[in-house]
Amino acid sequence: MSIVPALSIQGLGHRFGPRQVLKDVSFSVAPGDFTVLLGLNGAGKTTLFSVATRLYAQAEGTIRIFGMDIRHRMLECLRRMGIVFQQPTLDLDLSVEQNLFYHCALHGLSHREAAQRIAAEIDRVGLADQRREKARRLSGGQRRRVEIARALLHQPRLLLLDEPTVGLDIASRQFMLDHVRGLCREEGLAALWATHLIDEVGEGARVVVLHKGEVLADGAAVQLIGQMRAPSMRAAFETLVQEREAA
């Protein structure tokens, strides 16, 4: 019996006026998979996330979340997705806890249920002592941790993270990576991690290379390095991009 992918994208295209920013994009993420969507700035990663979360309208192709087409069952799909946007989205004038309660209310959780989940998630990201602090007083890394905790409060089965480590120091980046990889490994969560930082790929990860709106490669990082006969992921990526530019 085949497993229904957590995320399945088929032939996705998107235009901003005459400019085609996504072209025939197809790939899928299985439950428990940590998949890196690797691409330079402007590759179309954020557009892809925006289409998948109804911030932009979908025109060409199909996106399915656990088998459900987002065009027909968008609200059901959104319930199963946790999202960390590239742009910081915390309300800086509210406390950590108030931000998290707000998210729980948007997802229809009762106050008691919300309080329990907030306590658990905030503890997991090591910010229990800061729960009553205004978000404005947190460091960039701490804010990102709160955003991860928030994305998990409604217990999604698919986590979408758009450049979640931009601007973070090495320790915070490593924490984020380890935390999300752990969630995939231990809880079977599917994660799509968009980044332009090649060293975030990791040898065991699955990688989808996106360049100028097109998928150039899709597979295990180790396999890709082997196929390209490259010494590292960075070299494999650079070769892929150069070949595409030359074509």
Partner 1 sequence: MSPIHYLRCFGGIANREWLRFLNQRGRFFSALVRPLVWLAIFAAGFHFVLGVSIIPPYETYIPYSVYIAPGLIAMILMFNGMLSSLSMVYDREMGSMRVLMVSPLPRWFLLTAKLLAGVIVSILQAYAFLAIARIWEIEPPWYGYIAVLPALVLAALMLGALGLLLSSAIRQLENFATVMNFVIFPMFFASSALYPLWHVKEASLLLYEVCEANPFTHAVELIRFALYAQLEPTSAIVLIATTAIFLTLAVYGYDPAKGLMARRAAE
The contact mask relative to partner 1 for 106-135 (x = CB under 8 A, - = no) is xxxxx-------------------------
3-state secondary structure of 71: coil
Span 56-85, contacts to partner 1 by CB under 8 A? 56-57, 75-76, 78-79, 81, 83, 85
Q: How many other C-beta atoms can be found within 10 angstroms of the C-beta atom of residue 15? A: 14
Span 138-197, contacts to partner 1 by CB under 8 A? none
What tokens were used for 223? Answer: 């396999």
CB of 127 vs partner 1, minimal distance in Å: 18
Span 1-20, contacts to partner 1 by CB under 8 A? 15-17
Report if residue 203 touches partner 1, rule: CB under 8 A: no
Span 90-109, contacts to partner 1 by CB under 8 A? 90-94, 98, 101-109
CB of 149 vs partner 1, minimal distance in Å: 13
CB of 205 vs partner 1, minimal distance in Å: 25
Q: Are 91 and 73 in contact (CB under 8 A)?
A: no
What long-range pairs does 120-127 form, CB within 8 A, spacing at least 24?
Answer: 121/149, 121/150, 121/152, 121/153, 122/96, 122/97, 122/146, 122/149, 124/149, 124/179, 125/149, 125/179, 127/96
Taking contact as CB under 8 A, which single stretch among the options 26-34, 88-96, 121-129, 224-232 is the one that binds partner 1? 88-96
* Interface with partner 1 (CB under 8 A), residue from 72, 87, 129, 247: 87
3-state secondary structure of 44: coil
Element at 145 (helix H, strand E): helix 140-152
Query: Footprint of partner 1 on this chain (CB under 8 A)?
Result: 15-17, 50, 53-57, 75-76, 78-79, 81, 83, 85, 87-94, 98, 101-110
